[in-house]
Amino acid sequence: MKKLLIYLSAYKKESVLGPLFKLLEASFELIVPLVVASMIDVGIVSNDKGYIVRMCLIMTALGLIGLVCSVTAQYFAAKAAVGFASRLRHGLFSHIQSLSFSQMDKEGTSTLITRMTSDINQVQSGVNLVLRLFLRSPFIVFGAMIMAFTVDVKAALIFVVVIPILSVIVFGIMLISIPMFKKVQGGLDKVLGITRENLTGVRVIRAFGEEEHEIQKFDRETDALKRLQMTAGRISALMNPLTYVVINAGLMALIYVGALRVEAGILSQGQVVALVNYMSQILVELVKLANLIITVTKAVACGNRIQSIFEIPPGMDAPSRISEDSSKKASSVKDETGTVEFNHVSLRYHKGGEQALTDIHFKAGKGDTIGVIGGTGSGKSSLVNLIPRFYDVEQGYVRVDGRDVREYPLAMLRDKIGVVMQKAVLFQGTIRENLLWGNENATDEELWEAIKAAQAEEFVLQKRDKLDEMIAQEGRNLSGGQKQRLSIARALVKKPEILILDDSSSALDYATDAALRRSIKELPGETTVFIVSQRASSMLHADLIIVLDDGNVAGMGTHEELLKNCEVYQEIYYSQFEKKEGAAQ
């Protein structure tokens, strides 16, 4: 949590002025009981109405000044807390963007969303209350004790006994509740994960009639979270009654001692009232402090969870620019633009896990079409994900344009590559806005060229607003095939040297798929294309087909070569075409 305070550094002035104005307000508040005591002992005893009015005016002035100080303090505290949360959110989002795919897979989407939203909101509330009350409440408590000593030393000894007891109660409950609130936030992660999973997979759940099972699963997690929250709440709820008991016991003792000393002529009635007021101030401030500590406890637990994300090192080290040695080495190799080389590459997603790819070795020349085929889980996506360096190799190296991908700045490497992911992802906005992700400076003519090449022209022209047609979040108002074609168009707008189609035509019919491959082949320039698919028909005319089986290369060559000597490819090809022939009959 301490390391997060760096994001408060831009608000040093507000962080100082907020507590300072609160201390000024508290100082004026500590004077009030003395004014009341003076009013009783002088004004009321001597029936001096003019003196009483003057004291009332002084109290009013103290109240108004305190109000101005309080409002000013809250303004500065809110400004610092909101600014801190905003900078923290920006910093956390930026750090998450620097994590590798493996690290993000390990942490989980629901966990990262909770850190970005609920946890940061809790920390913001904690910072706000700390700036307003963390110094004010202890200042009032100990200030009231000191002021009590100026009134009467013997009666003030009651304060010396009460305050340590209260401190033990407050800090004891805090120490017990901090780990419990951390568990509560962990439970919230689980509930959020289940909620997200159910909302994204609602069609599948209903298709299999599993609504009741998912409701029971959700209820189990929410009940577990409820039990954690109730346990933490019960412990925190002990703070108020325990502090009230101690304070009221102190008040009883104070009134008793005060009455005896008034009767003995040592204290005046006004002084006893002042002492009772100071004890009441302590009660009010300790109730505030108790609530503050509950909020701060949650904020610290949430802050530690946020800090745990910051402590994950960036997934990949990348140079800010290409080194001179690397540039000289690359320039000595002729005609390497658009080439991709895998040199005995192996990949493992997590330490201790199984290898996803083993000893992959091939080279794709400029303008070549490379097909990657294999069964589910054979490593097809893993292979092409190494080209834009979404993951780092464990052994060997991957070269793009004759240079190791680890020698490129990530932005420079990915600028050369157009990727169409296995799952088509579109963002809320117009068709034009989505396509401009590929090239923000592209003209409408270039956008239509890409749309036409991606076989999306027909349905885009049918839209009322054409390129300005709104797309819902995640493209919910489009079919699967339409989303895939717009995703391909977005990559084509980039005019990349290397185009990766990762099973991106699975929702297209065979005719559209064939037309798409022809149009990509006819694009101006020589684009190196990687086609990942489970359809053998998608890569019949590829220059090189790589057949994967459980992360290993089962065969490599053209369609005709593999059909003769690769058993895995034969199995895939004949199973698909036999089904097709059977369907035709």
Range with the largest mean pLDDT of 133-147, 213-227, 515-529:
213-227
> Quick one: 249 and 369 in the same domain?
no
Q: How confident is the model at residue 72 (pLDDT cuts 50, 70, 90)?
A: very high
> Quick one: 253 and 379 in the same domain?
no
**Cα 11 from Cα 130, distance rounded (Å):** 14
**Cα 220 from Cα 66, distance rounded (Å):** 50
Note whether residue 498 is domain-resident: no
144-174 tens-digit pLDDT: 888 888 888 888 888 888 888 887 887 787 7
Q: 326: helix, coil or strand?
A: helix
Note whether residue 113 is domain-resident: yes
Note whether residue 518 is domain-resident: no
> Quick one: 223 and 294 in the same domain?
yes
**Cα 194 from Cα 109, distance rounded (Å):** 11
318-346 tens-digit pLDDT: 666 665 555 555 544 545 677 899 998 89
> Quick one: 243 and 390 in the same domain?
no
> Quick one: 291 and 339 in the same domain?
no
> Quick one: 348 and 267 in the same domain?
no
Q: 302: helix, coil or strand?
A: helix
Q: How far apart are the first and last CA of the chain?
A: 69
Label each residue of 435-491 as H, E or C: HCCCCCCCCHHHHHHHHHHCCCHHHHHHCCCHHHCEECHHHCCCCHHHHHHHHHHHH
> Quick one: 306 and 335 in the same domain?
no
Beta-bridged to residue 370, according to DSSP, are 530, 544
Domain encompassing residue 139: 2-310
Note whether residue 278 is domain-resident: yes
> Quick one: 306 and 344 in the same domain?
no
Give buried/exposed letters for 466-498 (b at 16+ CB in 10 A, else e). ebebebeeebeebeebbbbbbbbbbbbbbbbbb
Label each residue of 530-561 as H, E or C: EEECCCHHHHCCCCEEEEEECCEEEEEECHHH
pLDDT at 271: 84
Beta-bridged to residue 419, according to DSSP, are 500
pLDDT at 579: 45
Q: How far is CA 294 from CA 44, 236, 344, 511, in A?
A: 43, 7, 56, 64
> Quick one: 280 and 349 in the same domain?
no
> Quick one: 21 and 72 in the same domain?
yes
pLDDT greater than 60 at residue 221: yes
- The contacts of residue 104 (CB under 8 Å, 6+ apart) are 96, 112
Note whether residue 49 is domain-resident: yes
pLDDT at 316: 66
**Cα 311 from Cα 95, distance rounded (Å):** 10
**pLDDT: is 315 or 514 the higher one?**
514
Edge-to-edge order in the sheet of strand 395-400: 355-364, 340-348, 395-400, 403-404
Task: Work out how many domains the chain is built from and give that number.
Answer: 2
Q: 344: helix, coil or strand?
A: strand
CA atoms within 13 A on the CB side of 552: 4
> Quick one: 288 and 339 in the same domain?
no
The last residue of one of the domains, among 310, 344, 367, is 310
For the whole model, what pTM was predicted?
0.65
Tokens 């960036």 locate to: 314
pLDDT at 31: 86
> Quick one: 335 and 225 in the same domain?
no
- The contacts of residue 284 (CB under 8 Å, 6+ apart) are none
**pLDDT: is 577 or 119 the higher one?**
119
Note whether residue 401 is domain-resident: yes
The CATH number covering residue 363 comes to 3.40.50.300
Lowest mean pLDDT among 84-98, 350-364, 570-584: 570-584
DSSP state of 402: T
